[in-house]
Chain A
Amino acid sequence: MPEILIILISTVLVNNIVLVKFLGLCPLLGVSQQPHHALGMALATSLVLTLTAGITYLLNTYLLIPYHLEFLRLIVFILVIASLVQLLDHIMQALSPLLHQVLGIFLPLITTNCAVLGVALLSTTTPSSLFTALWYGLGTAIGFSMVLIIFAHLRARLTTSDIPRCFQGAPIALMTAGLMSLAFMGFIGMAK
């Protein structure tokens, strides 16, 4: 239990995938215009992140390392993530077409999301078992979702505030992200 807590604190706060590792910045800027879109993207990414962390850990431990095929890691992971996303897409379309409509383009977009591949690659080195790998994925997903939703709400407020003309749009969004990142630097040292 303390191990899981440390993994969660580490992935959500200390090594936040977006603000500390700077992965997955494209959805952060692309899908944060409206809070409810951000929520959809956060849910979809969380699902994929957690599942890929587990599956890639298994593939790496039981297939790639025993046969000394570590050099295939990147291409195998991309293949597996793309298939997994496609599979989720089909399942969601059959079970809940409504959710499928809401997530819409976000789900296929996750295929090329660097946060997902980043977690897949990192989860091969960091966690020590399937169980911790899954928690690692989940923690990263929570961290990603949290930042994405906070950022979406910040941007919603930015639209109504008085911003100098030259900072409007992307510049102020990037500055906000930078400030959030600085704030998260404060967690460094809490956990590995």
Chain B
Amino acid sequence: MTFYTLLFAVGILTLIALLCGSILLIAKSKLRPNENQLVDAIDALLPQTQCAQCHYPGCRPYAEAIAKGEAINRCPPGGTATIQALAELLGREVLPLDTTTGITKPPQIAVIREQECIGCTLCLPACPVDAIVGAQGFMHTVITQYCTGCELCIAPCPVDCIAMIPFNKKS
């Protein structure tokens, strides 16, 4: 092999490498990853309780975090069924529920014992789905059909007049 052949070979190889590199560079800058589609698909599988037990402010932020690689077992309301559905969607391992975030409970909704309510409005901003109606000094109540049973209104209530009751979809 002469020196010329060697130089030629190196030149050709460099040329191919440069070509491949520039194609990749162009592809990377032109093709923006389409995150939304994935986030939508994940969000659709989450229970939409907006309970924040996963330590994210709601289901959508958690879906975004999962798309970026967060664990799929941080949703206690969804429980095993949700973890399985997510694992199937994303091709990940099925994991047991991370119990540091909470345990799976049967469907429930919040009820305000109206005779005890003092109308403090503290539970209104706590509700992630605006399912509590009421005003300062007036009795509050939960709109049953919107309540997700997230328990976020229980802690702010100064007189502990909110109770969780089991909920079945028929009624």
**A contacts, CB < 8 Å to B:** 36-37, 40, 59, 63, 67-69, 71-72, 75-76, 79-80, 83, 86-87, 90-91, 93-98, 101-104
Contact = CB atoms under 8 A, between A and B. Distances in A.
B41 A98 contact: yes
A98 B9 contact: no
Contact of B24 (A67, A86, A94, A103): A86
B37 A76 contact: no
A102 B23 CA distance: 25
A75 B28 CA distance: 24
Given A76-B16, A79-B20, A97-B35, A87 B27 contact: yes
A97 B32 contact: no
Interface residues of B, number: 26
A86 B32 CA distance: 14
A63 B16 CA distance: 11
A90 B26 CA distance: 10
Interface in B1-47: 5, 8-9, 12-13, 16-17, 20-21, 23-24, 27-28, 31-35, 37-38, 41
Nearest to A106: B91
Contacts of A95: 34
Given A87-B24, A98-B89, 12 more contacts: A36-B88, A40-B91, A59-B16, A69-B9, A75-B13, A79-B13, A80-B20, A91-B27, A93-B33, A98-B38, A102-B89, A102-B90
Contacts of B13: 72, 75-76, 79
